[in-house]
Amino acid sequence: MKEHIDSLAHVVMAMHDDEALHSGFSSTAAIFAAAIPERKKILVAGNGASAGEAQRFALAFVVKFQKEHEAYPALSLASDPSLLTAIGNDYGFAEEFERQVEAFGQPGDIYVALSVSGNSENVIRGAMKAKTMGMKTVALIGKGGGKLKGMCDAEMIIPSDDGSRIQEMHLFILDALCAEMENSFK
């Protein structure tokens, strides 16, 4: 157990001193703070465990995180099995998020890309589509950022190559963002 705690503490301390990460969080919070009064949608994409994080993040806006607030439009793009399998079957897995961004996104909405490696093709294509549609884009990534590094309006790169620690820190950051944004809701 101590080995796992030490591993987590090492990543937390690296994050504590990572100015680029802090700047990315501030930029992300500013994007959300500007969008919330306009009721712009939040579209969240991720694969595997990141899909679970996408669902949890979206529900904090639709339902609540820690405080009661009005329902806010947020959608996990990884939640509808019928839609995902139809897109995957008819167009290919790489288009799953891109197609949904095209269907649900509007200028000024926010696309949140969750990827441990930063190399998930469907997450990247979703970000590229969001950018062409005038949406704001945010990336939570790890392992140096991968192909997603530098593609989004704001990014937070977890200073680790350990997938488990990256996932844990993505969840931590998403929770911190939810706590910040709940103060903006009515």
> In this structure, which long-range contacts are made by residues 81-88, counting pairs with CB atoms below 8 Å and at least 24 apart in sequence?
none
Residue-wise pLDDT for 95-111, tens only, equals: 999 999 999 999 999 99
**Domain coverage including residue 30:** 2-182
For residues 112 and 138, the answer to whether their CB atoms sit within 8 Å is: yes
CATH number of the domain at 130, please: 3.40.50.10490
CA-based end-to-end distance of the chain: 42
Nearest C-alpha neighbor of 108 from the set 172, 22, 45, 40: 40
Percent of the chain with pLDDT over 70: 99
Burial tier of 68 (Cβ tally within 10 Å: 0-12, 13-18, 19+):
exposed
Domain count, the chain: 1
Chain centroid offset of residue 125 CA:
14
pLDDT at residue number 4:
87
Residue 182 has what pLDDT? 83
pTM for the predicted model, two decimal places: 0.96
| Segment 56-77 mean pLDDT | 93
For residue range 125-173, list pLDDT tens digits in order. 999 999 999 999 999 999 999 999 999 999 999 999 999 999 999 999 9
pLDDT at 69: 87
Residue 186, pLDDT > 70, answer no
Quote the CA–CA distance of 98 and 111 in Å, as a whole number. Answer: 11
pLDDT for the residue numbered 80: 95
Q: How confident is the model at residue 84 (pLDDT cuts 50, 70, 90)?
A: very high
Cβ-proximal residues to 157 (8 Å cutoff; 6+ apart), any chain = 20, 21, 24, 118, 141, 142, 144, 145, 149
- Average per-residue pLDDT for the chain: 95
- Average pLDDT over every residue of 27-37: 96
In this prediction, residue 86 carries a pLDDT of 96
Given a cut of 90, is residue 13 above it in pLDDT? yes
